Chain A
Amino acid sequence: MASSTIAAPAASRRRSWLPRWLTAESALPWLMPVIALLLAFGVYPLLYAVWLSLQERSRITRQFEFVGLKQWGIALTDPRTWDSFQVTLTYTLVCLAVQVVLGMAIALLLDTERRGYGLLRSLMILPLVVPPAVTGLMFLLMEDAQFGVLSYYLKQLGIIDPANPLLANNNTALIGVMLADIWQWTPFMVLIFLAGLRALPKEPYEAAAIDGASAFQAFRLITLPLLSRVIAVAVLLRSIDLFRVYDYIYVMTSGGPGTQTETLSFYAGRLFTLANFPYAATLALIVLISLNVLAAVFIKLFKVRF
């Protein structure tokens, strides 16, 4: 007690040379750097994209001219926008479903204390550290009709026709791209589900065992309900990522054949590289709005709490 009464004036003496706004109790000064970063790298680019989407770049003068909502009108009536939206949704839903089911199955298998399983759990991280563009290149090589090992075995098994390469066939090109995504991101689901499984209490399982519940019943009636929030967060995070897919498409198919694998993000990216900035910004904003709406619906529907 005595030491604190002596220390207090000393502390205030030490602080006295600091500006008053910095020593005040308000949190604002300490939040300023973060707010500045957010404004510079979050709000400003967003507002700039909105501004761009209201412009048109003259092909002759190369200047931006204000055209109101013209780009939005074009985008919403462009069949290619809707096609790419449909491809994006298909890609997101299929990959998500496979990754959740496979991820849960592998997580259940790895949720054990047996020897060697720790190593297997560590190995699951490996695909995650490979850059997506490199993963795309790996699968591009593996699925190559002439040189690819995956194509070779799929042909041997009679699953694909040698004359119809996986990535050049209208019906299979998107599946070919999905394979890369599923290989790379299923381990992410596994790790999240594993963390959830390991945090579950043992008591409900002991009680269920005494009541004679089977393993499947325990999984359905105990594990799934207890893991629901973990699953919801994992699904939300992956959905956002899947909806924005770009790298695999760029590397593996350039959006083809035709527009069979062209996602919204890829379509926007293609137009950015061709310097059609206003239309590309409009498409990018459509991606953003779609994601926000879908995420909000999902959060509401599944009562996700962070």
Chain B
Amino acid sequence: MSFREHDRKTFIADTCGEYAARRISKREFIRKLGIAGVGLSGFGAAMLGGGRPFRGLDFGNPAFAQSGPDEAMMQWLSEVGKPFAGTTIRYTSEATPPTIVANQLAKEEFTKATGINVEIEIVPLEQVLQKATLDIQGQVGTYDLYYLDQSWMATFSQDMEDPREYYDAHPDIAMPNFDWDDFSKPLLDGISMFDGKLVSIPFDIPIFILMYRRDLYEKHGLKVPADLNEYMANVKAIQEAEKGNGIYGTTGQLRSGHYSLECDWTAWLWGNGGSIYNNEGMFTGGDEQGIKGLEYLMEISKNCPPGALTWTWDGEGQSVAQGLAGQVITWGEYFPSFDGANSKVVGLMEAAPPPKAISLRTPEQCGFNEIPNVGHQGGSGLGLSRYSQNQEAAFIFMQWACSKDVVGRGSVLGGGASPVRLSAFTDPRTLAAAKVGPGTTRHFPAVEETINTMMGSEPDFPAWAELSNNTIPVELGKFLTGQFKTPQECMDAIKPVADEMAAPFRKA
């Protein structure tokens, strides 16, 4: 993203902040946004769901606004950055909360202190993959850093420096007290490790948690479900009782052919005792537990608003905020938006870890480092390119973006950034924001517990990105719209492709 574009976005963020703080009138707010070119396309983009699930960032929220930079950090940056002043580092990313925070603070703080310019190119996730693939194919180092989805770690493993080894090998630019142990082990294993190598530093952790309407639970005498059977019972109870009021049992991100559908499927597959691959590297979505998982998905879809079949993550989050659903197990990143502006459920939503699986396979029974559990994680990491021409400058930026200070401040941003560092959960700023209102962190205890005890991770092998973005969601879409007569037919259509793609990566 160019700086001109950055300035435009900063202007929009500031304008929103001013309006939220009632410092400008609605007329002035609309006029300013008009100048910045915000219109129908901006609104529509939310429905498109090109990016990850979060509902806009509130840079005007008091918790974030009051969170100034750490003095010691600024001092270190200005000293360590001197030799690299004037260097420009680049990376491409999708518009996730940590990237937006880094983008916002890079110019104001990082570049100011170090003299290192940062250009962040923000594009939809699939384009991030395409650009990164082209870059490593030519090994030209167009990008110094890569934003890597957890499902790509295997693909890019050989093109990244191990950041921990790099840290040890370059003490002159190593950030004091970076504290590697502050990243929880399940996160490091689930997001950033491949084959014993740390491929990236965890940067973002969207994860499935349970979010439910407290008022509806009280009204119908429902309790927080302990397992997926109880969850389904709650879904049906609300659907039956409230459908006449336009409220459905649950909602979903079930658009055919989109990765979001695959994400939903995995949670129900794992939660019913199934897995994508067995420990021999063969697709097992069509075994007995797999079929139960698919039937569970179908049952869920019957209790969603009909539009859920056309929604990705943003449509799903929007439907909860508009009061259309009684509960949902999905990305915790939505939660702050439910307490934010334009929500019809302010203060009504509660968060909890997902209900327990009906049965669960162990990671040892699965293949390619798959970890079955209901708390599907869609995390990402920041990787340092082996082909970068500005590796040291990029590493300084990488440490800063993943530092305790920046992660902690990003966590109180209203867009719903989930913290990747343990310290962020106990940061006084985070704790102070745990109340109803924009930028709430009320859901963080549920997120933390899910990360530590219930996190599910997809398989790691280089062809997984293609399989999870194409064959699986396309065939699932056919199933949900009645193009297959039975769940078995659907899984049988996926199996040969899934087995063929995994074949080169099976252990002999």
User: Which residues does A use to contact B, with CB under 8 Å?
Assistant: 59-60, 62, 134, 137-138, 140-141, 144-147, 162-165, 167-170, 251, 253-260, 262, 270-276
| In the complex, chain A residues whose CB is within 8 Å of the CB of B394 | none
A138 touches B319 (CB 8 A): no
Indicate whether B474 reaches chain A with its CB closer than 8 angstroms. Answer: yes
A45, B53: Cα distance in complex, Å? 36
A258-B481, A274-B465 as given contacts; A145 in contact with B470, CB under 8 Å:
no
A276, B134: Cα distance in complex, Å? 11
- With beta carbons under 8 angstroms apart, the residue of B134, B136, B477 that contacts A257 is B477
A162, B465: Cα distance in complex, Å? 35
B130 touches A145 (CB 8 A): no
| In the complex, chain B residues whose CB is within 8 Å of the CB of A251 | 48
B129 touches A275 (CB 8 A): yes
A164, B127: Cα distance in complex, Å? 31
Indicate whether B52 reaches chain A with its CB closer than 8 angstroms. Answer: no
CB B478 to nearest CB in A, in angstroms, measures 3
B477 touches A256 (CB 8 A): yes
Indicate whether B324 reaches chain A with its CB closer than 8 angstroms. Answer: yes
What would be 21 A-B contacts, judged by CB atoms less than 8 Å apart? A60-B462, A60-B504, A137-B48, A140-B310, A141-B43, A141-B44, A144-B315, A146-B322, A163-B306, A169-B481, A251-B48, A253-B310, A256-B258, A257-B481, A270-B257, A273-B129, A273-B130, A274-B465, A274-B470, A275-B133, A276-B466
| In the complex, chain A residues whose CB is within 8 Å of the CB of B455 | none
A138 touches B475 (CB 8 A): no
Indicate whether B169 reaches chain A with its CB closer than 8 angstroms. Answer: no
B483 touches A170 (CB 8 A): yes
Q: Mark B30-52, 1 if CB is under 8 A from A, else 0.
A: 00000000001101110110000
B256 touches A273 (CB 8 A): no
B306 touches A165 (CB 8 A): yes
Nearest 5 CB-CB pairings of A with B: A256-B256, A137-B44, A258-B478, A168-B309, A145-B307
| In the complex, chain B residues whose CB is within 8 Å of the CB of A253 | 255-257, 310
Q: A273-B130, A273-B469 are in contact. List 18 more A-B contacts (CB 8 A).
A: A140-B48, A144-B310, A146-B305, A162-B306, A163-B306, A165-B307, A168-B256, A168-B310, A254-B258, A255-B256, A256-B257, A258-B474, A258-B475, A273-B127, A274-B130, A274-B469, A275-B129, A275-B134
Indicate whether B463 reaches chain A with its CB closer than 8 angstroms. Answer: yes
A137 touches B477 (CB 8 A): no
Indicate whether B482 reaches chain A with its CB closer than 8 angstroms. Answer: yes
| In the complex, chain B residues whose CB is within 8 Å of the CB of A141 | 43-44, 47
CB A265 to nearest CB in B, in angstroms, measures 15
Closest to A80 in B: B474
CB B486 to nearest CB in A, in angstroms, measures 15
A217, B126: Cα distance in complex, Å? 55
Give chain B interface residues in 320-348, CB to chain A under 8 Å.
322, 324
Give chain B interface residues in 464-508, CB to chain A under 8 Å.
465-466, 469-470, 474-475, 477-478, 480-483, 501, 504-505
